[in-house]
Amino acid sequence: MPQTVLERAKRAFFRKRYNDVITLLEPNTIQYRDSFTFYLYLGMACLHTGDVGGATTYFQRARQIKMRDPDLLVAQAVLHLRRGDTHQAVEYYLEALEYAPSHKLAQKSLEFIRKNSDPESISALVETGKISRFYPRIRRPITPARIATFLIPLFVVLVSFGLYYSVSNSIKNTPSRADLSQLDLDSGERKDPIAMSGTYRYVLTEKEIFSTYEKSQRFFQIYRDNAAQVEINRILNSNASVSIKRKARQLMGYLGKPGFESLEDRYTYEQIHKDPYLYLDCWVIWKGMATNTVSNESFLNFDFLVGYDTRNVLEGIVPVRFSKVLPVDPEKPLEVLARVSLDGGTLILLGASIHQSGKPSEF
């Protein structure tokens, strides 16, 4: 079966024939103008041949198509590292970790910069060719032949040594995320769980306090941090005792920051607008449009038209505040990853990241 130009270029890439990749792909930029994969392979081939200008151009086009690919961000970061612009490189590595918190190459690169940020070390890295250690590796496509090559011998080994059953058991008995035994309620807290005076947003019974607190711990252990935060907020705004509230606040310190792909329990604008105190410090991913944008070298603020990405329905307007500068095109829809907060009783979002595609949504 005849192969496409891109398929032939992929084969050449994995054989490290990078000049052949460039020769095959560059004449076909119009045909593949909307292909992220095309521009990623072309940019990586340029990077391996030392064509920094070509790599920069093709990576920029790839990012217009797909903004939050961590390998692409790492590739763009290493371009800045080659130039000695460690500040910009760090920004790209951190953004890659927002989308893929366990990205090993981004972590390794940040550790290198932390220890070797001087111009001499980076120049030596480039001159010796060791900079290639920080180039992202594109995974080879999975084909039926490759699957058979790896899985059949693996299956035989697993059956022969009985590892299949041990793997199954290990999956069933996945260890807890963290030891929270020090946050378990003690006998005194269980004996006297209710504060006897004060004004509270949520008035709970003893049984409800215990149930809510235990749910917050359970949600944490199964990586549902947003759901855990809701239960913590219910405790903090309730008639629970000071001691129980203190432990709930300690649990908050274990909650992690999600990425666009990893966020569980996504709450809507309507849910949060009805009771913002219940969702304080939860993370949201909302679509909409930006307006009234204000920024300088250290911040970005705008009013977010929630739900207006289709320009049919406006759910509400929420101020968004970033403590860093990110590119925003007010003419195109965007997604915002942000943490829920209040400012003088007004709902606001503390921004972490933005995804804005190269094309507007269908109107």
Q: What confidence tens digit (pLDDT) does each residue in 279-320 have? A: 999 999 999 999 999 999 889 999 999 999 988 899 999 999
Q: Hey, what CATH topology would domain 5-134 get?
A: 1.25.40
Q: Tell me phi and psi for residue 352, to 5 degrees.
A: -120, -40
pLDDT in tens, 193-217: 999 888 999 999 999 999 999 999 9
Pick the more confident residue, 150 or 72.
72
Domain limits, the chain: 5-134, 181-252, 269-355
Residue with tokens 């606040």: 249
**Mean pLDDT in residue range 147-174:** 51
Look at residue 148 and tell me whether its pLDDT is greater than 60: no
Look at residue 165 and tell me whether its pLDDT is greater than 50: no
> Quick one: pLDDT at residue 142?
62
For the domain bounded by 269-355, which CATH number is listed? 2.40.50.140
Query: Do residues 63 and 76 make contact, with C-beta atoms less than 8 angstroms apart?
Result: yes
> Quick one: pLDDT at residue 168?
46
Q: How confident is the model at residue 179 (pLDDT cuts 50, 70, 90)?
A: confident
Look at residue 87 and tell me whether its pLDDT is greater than 80: yes
pLDDT-wise least confident of 154-158, 230-234, 239-243: 154-158
